[in-house]
Amino acid sequence: MSTSDNCIFCKIASGAIPSKKVYEDDELFAFHDIKPWAPVHFLIIPKMHIPSMAQVGPEHGSLLGRMMVLAAQLALEQGCNPYPEGGFRIVVNTGTEGGQEVHHLHFHVIGGARPWLKG
């Protein structure tokens, strides 16, 4: 598994830094955001260190597909209200101008009753 020594999300995925885990399998890890914007706010990351969406290629297609499918499943499990009245938002900040602060690919999954702090 490729990891980056100084990456906080690699350390969360390996358990070296504690987090409130939502889900784990051999490829993916999900955990609650430390500063939630909304009643439901968790992050889905690949265990493999990919810095951002700017580095993904065709070889990552099935991994990204699994992240999307998992986002919808976990959103409901974590308390997002059902579609269409409820729903959720998936956000993938990419690069500095894209608002990315942690350079390990992550999908924000955000939902629950409004108002939210952001978005």
Q: Which two tokens mark 100?
A: 């990315």
Would you say 8 or 76 has its CB closer to ligand 5GP? 8
The gap from C-alpha 74 to its chain's centroid, in whole angstroms, comes to 11
As a whole number of angstroms, the distance between CA 72 and CA 78 comes to 10
In angstroms, the CA 42 to CA 33 distance is 5
Of 62, 73, 93, 65, which is closest to residue 23 (Cα–Cα)? 73
33 binds, among Zn ion, ligand 5GP, none (CB under 5 to 8 A by kind): ligand 5GP
Interface map 34-73 toward Zn ion (x if CB under 5 A): ---------------x------------------------
**Active-site choice (41, 49, 106, 108):** 106
Contact 17, 112 (CB under 8 A): no
Look at residue 48 and give the partner it binds from ligand 5GP, Zn ion, none, a contact being a CB closer than 5 to 8 Å depending on partner kind: none
Active site annotation includes 104: no
Q: How far is the CB of 91 from ligand 5GP (least distance, A)?
A: 7
Listed ranges 15-23, 28-36, 55-63, 100-108: which one lies at the site for Zn ion (CB under 5 A): 100-108
Q: Which residues are catalytic?
A: 106
